[in-house]
Structure 1
Amino acid sequence: MINITEKMTKQLLTPASGFLEGYTFSLNPYIGCSFGCSYCYVRKMPVNLFRKEDWGTWVDIKKNAKEQYIRDMKKARKKYESVSIFMSSSTDPYQPTESDAEITRSLLEAMNEEPPDFLFVQTRSPLVKRDLGLLKGLGERVLLSMTVETDLDEVRRIFSPTAPPIAARMSVLKKFASEGIPTQAAVAPLLPFSDNFASTLASTVNRVTIDDYFMGDGSKGKRTTSLGIEKLYKEHKLEEWYHPEAYKKLVEELTRYMPKEQIFVSQDGFLPPVKK
């Protein structure tokens, strides 16, 4: 049972910094995430540490998100020449609650009226397919990044048992790419994969980003270590994959199927495109 609470927010667009320093703002339609992935670094952030509920069991809905977005954007336009938004940094904008609450959908409707210069959408949920038309309306201003940590569903069930199946995510990637929407597969964090993973990714999208615990948890792996994730690897005899160099195997395999300029590592794959 997920404890869902509705709240009003006084600020929706949060100034970006650190890993997201290339953005003007981050945007989280929700606080909390019911996917509750075992490796999620947000477990060790104040938003969860000061909560008396386990990560993955609670979600706060920002009920007035659409209205607040319009207010925040009008202020941002007066201050910034260009506005780029990362959605989302500490929740999944398409977690199951979104199916009924439609907060993310309402934001995309607002963005079609008052668009940012660039919107990065990070999710692991096939529910995003529902909003294909709204995302398409943003044209080149948007990039959909779908988390695909592995191609092995048995591995996904070990680390994120309540997250959507891998095949469903790959299907969405293929659909969006065929519709001409800028799309990437985010192998983040990298989990154990099969020999077919690289070729499958290359035949589905033309942009892949690879990240791991050691580069991408915001603390050089310290947050992940404190979560005890390494124990999961040992329990399932996957220790060789829990290593700072493990990601290089996929990078090397991808270069057999894709140009190097379509393969990104860690932060580079999550930043706004550089305008030429």
Structure 2
Amino acid sequence: MYLKTERDPEGGWYDRYVQLVDSEGRTIEQLGKHPTLDELREIERKHSVRINLWQQGLVCYECGNQINKRFSSTLEGHLLCWDCATSKEPYEQGDLTVNTDPTKSVLSESKLHEKSLCDYVINVATGCKHGCRFCYVPSTPAIKNRDRMLEKQAEVENPQEDWGSYLLYRDDLPERTHNGLKETDFSDWKVTKRGRGAVMLSSGTDCYQDRRAAQITRGCVHELVDADIPVRILTRSPNVTRDIDLFKKSDGLVTVGMSIPSFDTSLVKALEPQAPPPQARWEALDEMFRAGIPRFVSFSPTYPTMDRDQIRETLSWFEAIDPEVVFHEPMNPRGKNFEMCLEATREAGYEHVAKDLERIQRNDQWAEYAVEHIELVQELANDFRNVTVHSWPDRKLVNSSHGDTKRKLKNMRKQVSPESFASQGRF
């Protein structure tokens, strides 16, 4: 299927009727004049196709130039050429400042193979509306080194403190992924033992946080699967279930995971203020289970207040959706984001949590808690038939440990997760 445009003889150059037609030229959908990006992406989803929007006869809503290369859209979804899109002032959408992300890169090599996650990442946006207080992303070079861009595109004064209040979309990412993969020499593709050549969406934002991000994500996943590349999706959003049809057709190339640190809804809300509740995330994984989609859980970060019974109960919920693996990581008290966790728990009335967080700011107390949680989660997982834990001990934790503990932690860092999702791909 492809788009066909016809000029309105009574209108100007930019007045074009748009149709979706099949390979024999038969009309499948009448889209009228100036279909929005939302309408075009939903047409793709409805008919389970990918439509490359470049050089399709579509025109910019503002200047009338044809969309031949990069593009974005207005708040209402009207297509904009790159010149018009990048000259736009940021606009407000509720409590969120929104604009276009000028990032040039598509795929980025990643060190997340150290956690047995992937060798490459694709981020569908810069920023994230969830605003998780413990999020490490604002402290990474991907954000810290782009402060001028963020100030210009989203009026961001402090990328860390403002995290959760800005979001810059990469609307044309599916098209750029398509072109990039066509030009890729896969003999040079990075394939490590633990990353397995997989691409993860997303390491720096939630790829299903809203409809617009989800549409970008679907297009990218479609292109990756068509290229026979294994894909890992990590999200906190139940929106991921909208693409079960695509995941089913991927022949096991896609694995879908949810971050669920706890089922204490109010505490999770305090630390992840805009993210969906943990029960809704579990229900999305349950849908994946019933649909036969490979799935995993990111049990991360576990809070220092969680005791044996709470961890056991959480693992029992995970067992019910039969994940291929449960990734686990304790909380790490580093950087400004940890101070924001302290502040958030106090504001929410969780003084006992705040005291425990303060306690683990001492290196010796953090190391004791982190090792205890890693060993406890590993131990309790043995009580469940369908729970296999893959731990993520921090390098600093390994270096501060001794004897048998250090050897165990070093071995955990070398292990490969037990998933099979990548076995069907080209690598």
TM above 0.5, yes or no, is yes
Q: Please point out which of 162, 183, 200 is paired with 2:295.
A: 183
1:13 is aligned to 2:107: yes
Cα deviation digits, residues 66-89 of structure 1 (max 9, x gap) = 111112223334443664212111
Could you tell me which amino acid in structure 2 is paired with residue 151 of structure 1?
F
Is the CA contact (8 Å cut-off) linking 2:134 and 2:341 kept in structure 1? yes
Matched, 1:74 2:199: no
Could you tell me which residue of structure 1 aligns to residue 244 of structure 2? Answer: 132
2:199 maps to 1:85: yes
CA distance in 1, matches of 2:184, 2:336: 34
Check conservation: 2:112, 2:119, Cα contact below 8 A: no
Letter in 2 for 1:75: E
2:133 partner letter: S
Per the alignment, residue 56 of structure 1 pairs with 164
**Secondary structure at 1:189's aligned position in 2?**
strand
Structure 1 vs Structure 2 CA RMSD: 3.0
Structure 2 unmatched runs, 5+: 1-94, 157-161, 192-196, 361-368, 393-412
Corresponding residue SS for 1:139? coil
Give aligned pairs, total.
Answer: 267
Give the aligned residue type for 1:57: S
Match for 1:115: what amino acid? D
Separation of aligned partners in 2, 1:208 and 1:72? 32
Partner of 1:223: 335
> Could you say what secondary structure the match of 1:127 adopts?
helix
- TM-score, normalised with respect to structure 1: 0.83
CA change 1:143–1:225 in 2 (3 A) is same
On the 8 A contact 2:327/2:391 being kept in 1, the answer is: yes
Structure 1 alignment gaps of length 5 or more? 215-220
Kindly indicate whether the alpha-carbon contact (under 8 Å) linking 1:173 and 1:205 is maintained by their aligned counterparts in 2: no
1:115 aligns with 2:210: no
Match of 1:252 in 2: 379
How far off its partner does 1:30 sit? 1.0
Determine the C-alpha separation between the residues in 2 that align with 1:47 and 1:19: 18
- Which moved further from structure 2: 187-196 or 127-136? 187-196
Measure the CA separation in 2 of the matches of 1:36 and 1:204.
27
**CA distance 1:171–1:133, shift in 2 (3 Å):** same
Give the Cα separation in 2 of the matches to 1:174 and 1:8: 36
Deviation at 1:125, TM superposition (A): 0.5
* C-alpha distance in 1 between matches for 2:336 and 2:418: 22
- Structure 2: which amino acid aligns with 1:254? A
Q: Greater relative contact order: 1 or 2 (C-alpha under 8 angstroms, separation 6 or more)?
A: 1
Paired-residue identity, %: 20
Distance 1:204 1:18 in 2: 25
Structure-2 residue corresponding to 1:202: 319
Q: Any idea what SS the aligned residue of 2:98 has?
A: strand
CA contact (8 A) 1:112 1:134 kept: no
CA contact (8 A) 2:98 2:166 kept: yes
Question: Partners of 1:255 and 1:272 in 2: how far apart?
Answer: 18
State which structure, 1 or 2, has the greater radius of gyration over its C-alpha atoms. 2
Q: Distance in 2 between matches of 1:230 and 1:107?
A: 37
Q: Does 1:265 align with 2:391?
A: yes
Partner AA of 1:264 in structure 2: H
- The whole-number CA distance in structure 2 between the counterparts of 1:114 and 1:89 is 21
1:197-245 deviation per Cα after TM superposition (whole angstroms, max 9, x unaligned)? 121111222331111233xxxxxx5336754535556753024475323
* 1:57-107 CA distance string (max 9 Å, x none): 1111112101111122233344436642121111110112536x7111221
Query: How big is the shift at 1:171?
Result: 0.6
- Helix, strand or coil at the partner of 1:186: strand
Paired AA for residue 228 in structure 2: P
Structure 1 residues 112 and 85: CA distance shift in structure 2, 3 A: closer
